[in-house]
Structure 1
Amino acid sequence: MAELAAPAVRDWDFPRGTASVLLMLAFAEDHGVPAEKLLPGTPREALTGPDRQVDARQELAVVRAVAAHTGGDDIALELGRRYRVTTFGIFGFACISSPTMRDAMLFALRYLDLSFTFCIPHVELDEEGISLVLDDSRVPADVSRFLVLRDLAAIHTVMRDLLPGISPRGLEFRHPAPSSAKSYMDTFGVEPEFDAERHRASFDPAFLTMPLPQANEQTVALCAAQCDALVARRRERSGISQLVRERLVRLGGVDAGMDEIARQLTVSPRTLRRRLTDAGTGYRQLVDEVRQTLAEEMLDTGALSVEDVALRLGYAEASSFIYAFKRWTGTTPAAYARRSAPRARPGR
C-alpha cells in the first residue's frame, strides 16, 4: 500500500489560527455552556483577527472543556460537522479551487499545519481504493476518542464541500461500539465497524480524478503562495515559544521564573513577555504545558507515584500538583495513570 504523500507534520503540536477555538466557543454556547467556562480569562476579542494564532495546547484545553461539559460521540460528530471548508480560510479556499480531489488532498497534506487537526491523516492507495487513516497515537488518551470523531467528521464534511457526491464506502474505528451508531450513520452515511485495527475511512478510487466544481488553477497558485507566507510567519512567531519550552524541559518542568529564562535567552523580561504575547501565548501557559507533558509522560511509565511526579516537577505539595493536573486535563493524576496503564505495557 502506497501513501499518497507524507503529511507536512507528524504531530499535533503546531501553532494554529483561532477559527477553530472560536467555532468551539460558539458550539458550546449553542449547547448552553458559556464561553467563559471554556476559556477563562481570555476575551473573545483577543481571538478575533486574521493574524491571531494560538498554541496547540491552548486549543487542546478548549477541546477538553467542550468534551467535559458536553461530551459523548454524538457531540463530537456534531462538532466535526460544523467545520466547513470556509472555516480554514485561505487553506480551504485553495482546496476547493484545486482541479481534482487528488490535488486537494495533496495540497491539504502539504499544508497540514494550517489545519486544526489533532489526529494526523494519512492517505493510502492500493488496487482496492483510497484509505484515509487517522493516527491518534500522540493524542492524549482522555480526548483521543472525542478528537478522532471530531476530526474525521470535519474532514468528511470538508470533502463533501469540495465534491458533494463523495461518500465513504467503509468506516472503521478502534474504539468499542457505542450504545447507538445512529449519529455515525447520520454523519457518514455508512454503518461503521468498531474494535478495528485502525481508524479508517475508505473511498472509491474514482473520486480521486473527478474534477472539482469550483476548480481554478490560477487561484490555487495564488493561494499556495499565500499559504507559504502564512506558514513561514507562524513558524517565525512560534520560535520563541519553542525556545522557552526547551529551557523549561531542561529544568525538568521546575519553574525558574521568567526573569531567569529571559536571562538565558539574552533578552529582557519585558521583551520576552511581548514576544510571547505576539506568538499567542504567555510564560505561565508554557510552564503549564511543559509540566503537563512531563507529568503525563512520567505517569505513563507506571513507575512513579503521584507524590514522586509532583516532587520532580517542583511542587512543594502533592495537593498543589493534583489541583493543577485536574485543571489541565479535567481528571486527577491517579485517574490518568489508571487510564494510561494499558498503554504503558510492554510492546506499546
Structure 2
Amino acid sequence: MHAVDITGRPVGISGRRGTAGIRGMVAVGREHGVDVRTLLTGSGVTPEQVEDPAAVVRAAQELVVAQNLVRACPRPGLGIDVGSRLRLRHYGVWGFALLASPTLRVAAEVGLRRLPLTYATAGVSVRVAGPEVRVQVDDAGVPPAVRDFVVERELESIRGIIGGLLGEPVPLLRIDLRRAPTPGLFRDVPVSFGAPRDALVAPTALLDRALPQADPHTMRVCARECDLLMLGRLDGVVATRVREVFRAAGVLDMESTAARLHLSSRTLRRRLAAEGTSYHRVAAEARHAAAVELLTTTRLGVEPIALRLGYTDASTFTRAFRRWTGVTPGAYRARGPGWASGGTEPSASTAATAPAAASSTNTTG
C-alpha cells in the first residue's frame, strides 16, 4: 500500500493543510525558549494563522518552520516531541474515516489514499513481509537538515494515530532507524539502528484487528467528504508538471516551460488559472523554497544564489526574499549556523534541482 491521491498520482508535500503540525512545533519551541516569530521566520506564516483552526498553509511552509526549529534546538528526539502532539483528533474527517473502518488494514487503505489531508512531510507505505508488517517512512526529497526530525515526527505521529484507532498502545515489535546508534530515542520500544528503512514494525496479524468504533456507513460518508476536501487542497495537474520541470531544469521562463510541456504560453497561463494559481506564483514558490535551502545548507553568497535562481542581480533577489519572509537573505542566514554544519557548495546540477528539496516530496504525520 502506497501513498497516492485520488487521481492515482504519488502524494506530494506541495499540497495545502491545516496548521496543527506547525502548532506542535511552536509548542515544543516555546518549551525550549524559542520565540514563535523566530520559528516562523521565512515561512510566510503569521502567528495569527498558527492559532487559527481554519487557516491553511502549504507543506513547504511547514518544512521551513521545521528547519528553524531544528536550527534553534539541534538535538535527537525533537521530532518525537512534536509527533507526540499530533493525535487522531487533529485530523478531522480523515481521522473519523479511519476510526470508523472495520480493521486496521482497511483504515490503512483509506488513510493512505487521502494523505494530503494529514500533516505529512515524508513518504509512507505499508509493506507486509511474512509475520511482520512495516509502516515505512521515506524521507527522499526532504531537506537534509531536517530529515532525522521529519522521520522521528512521522513515526511517532503514525504510532499515535494507530494507538488512537485501537484504543490502546500499539504492540510494536521494534522501530527500525537508518541512522547510526543514537541514545534516548523511542525509549519504550526496541530500536534497531542501521536498518535499510525507517519503519514501525508490528506483527502482521495486527492488520486484521477489528476496530472498536467500526461503522462501515460512517466510514464511506467520511471517505467521500475527504475526497471532496482533497480536490480543494491538491495542487492541479498542470501546476505539478510545472514543478517537475523546475526540479529537472531549474526555474525557467514561461515560454521555455510551456515548450517543455508541449503547450503554448497562453494555454499554460489559462490552465494554471483554472487550477487557481499562476505561473508567477508557482515560480515564486519554487524560488522561495530553493533560496531557503541554499541559504541554510550551503556557503554560497547572496549574489551566486541570486544568479542560480534566475535573478539578474543580488538586489533583485534580496527584494523578492524580503517580500516572502520579511527579512533579507543575510539576516535570515545570520539567524543560525545550520549552513556551516556540514553544508557544502552544491554543483550546478544540485542547484538546478534545489526547489525539490522543500517544495515537492512524497508525503505522514
Contact 2:3 2:123 in 1 (8 A): no
Tell me the equivalent position of 2:224: 225
Answer yes or no: is 1:287 the counterpart of 2:284. Answer: yes
Aligned to 1:17: 18
Amino acid at match of 2:343: Y
Cα gap change, 1:240 to 1:26, in 2 (>3 Å): farther
Counterpart among 57, 73, 76 of residue 73 in structure 1: 76
Q: Distance in 1 between matches of 2:345 and 2:180?
A: 18
1:87 lines up with 2:90 in the alignment: yes
TM-score (norm 1): 0.74
Change (3 A) 1:48 1:218: farther
Equivalent residue pairs, number: 316
Kindly state the Cα deviation for residue 240 of structure 1 after the two structures are TM-superposed. 9.2
Matching of residue 207 in structure 1 with residue 209 in structure 2: no
Following superposition, the deviation at residue 227 of structure 1 comes to 0.1
Q: In structure 2, what is the equivalent of residue 33 of structure 1?
A: 34
1:123 corresponds to 2:122: no
Counterparts of 1:11 and 1:329, CA distance in 2 = 28
Q: Distance in 1 between matches of 2:144 and 2:130?
A: 34
Q: Distance in 1 between matches of 2:346 and 2:162?
A: 34
Secondary structure at 1:158's aligned position in 2? helix
Q: CA deviation at 1:210?
A: 1.0
Letter in 2 for 1:316: D
Residue 336 of structure 1: how far off its partner (Å): 2.8
**Mapped contact 2:3–2:124 kept (Cα < 8 A):** no
- 1:279-333 deviation digits (Å, cap 9, x = unpaired): 9xx95x9625435438969x99x9x976655423225249969638838997438
Q: Which moved more, 1:312-321 or 1:13-22?
A: 312-321
Q: 2:313 aligns with which of 316, 320, 338?
A: 316
Structure 1 match to 2:354: none
- Residues 211, 252 of structure 1: CA spacing in aligned structure 2 closer, same or farther, 3 A cutoff? closer
- Residue 162 (structure 1) shift: 1.1
Secondary structure at 2:133's aligned position in 1?
strand
Check conservation: 2:20, 2:86, Cα contact below 8 A: no
CA contact (8 A) 2:60 2:289 kept: no
Partner Cα separation in structure 1 for residue 238 and residue 29 of structure 2: 32
State the distance in 2 between where 1:338 and 1:195 align.
28
How far does residue 250 in structure 1 lie from its aligned partner after superposition?
Answer: 10
Decide whether aligned partners of structure 1 residues 225 and 330 sit closer, same or farther in structure 2, where only a CA change above 3 A counts: farther
Structure 1 residue identity aligned to 2:287: V
Match of 2:194 in 1: 195
Contact 1:24 1:66 in 2 (8 A): yes
Structure 2 gaps, min length 5: 255-264, 322-328, 352-365
CA distance in 1, matches of 2:306, 2:179: 32
Which residue, out of 150, 170, 173, partners 2:153? Answer: 150
User: Is the Cα contact below 8 Å between 1:129 and 1:202 reproduced in 2?
Assistant: yes
Given residue 172 of structure 1, which amino acid in structure 2 is its aligned partner? D
Kept after mapping to 2: 8 A contact 1:7/1:121: no
8 Å Cα contact 1:99-1:211 kept in structure 2: yes
Q: In the aligned structure 2, how far is the partner of 1:78 from the partner of 1:88? A: 18
Asked if the contact 1:102/1:209 (under 8 Å) is kept, the reply is: yes
* TM score, norm. by length of structure 2: 0.71
Aligned-pair Cα RMSD in Å: 4.3
Give the Cα separation in 2 of the matches to 1:286 and 1:325: 21
Among 82, 100, 106, the residue aligned to 1:97? 100
Specify the SS of the correspondent of 1:336: coil
- Partner amino acid, structure 2, of 1:184: F
Change in 2 beyond 3 A, CA 1:245/1:328: farther
Please point out which of 159, 163, 173 is paired with 2:162.
Answer: 159
Which position in structure 1 is the counterpart of 2:362?
none
Q: Do residues 136 (structure 1) and 139 (structure 2) align?
A: yes
Q: What is the rounded CA distance, in whole Å, between the counterparts of 1:249 and 1:77 in structure 2?
A: 30
Partner of 2:137, secondary structure, is strand
Could you say if the C-alpha distance between residues 222 and 197 of structure 1 is closer, same or farther in structure 2, counting changes exceeding 3 Å? same
> Is contact 2:137-2:198 (8 Å) kept?
yes
The residue type paired with residue 213 of structure 1 is: P
Deviation at 1:22, TM superposition (A): 2.5
Q: Is 1:175 aligned with 2:179?
A: yes
Q: 8 Å contact 1:123–1:133 — kept in the other structure?
A: yes
Residues 245 and 170 (structure 1 numbering): CA distance in 2 closer, same or farther, change over 3 Å?
closer
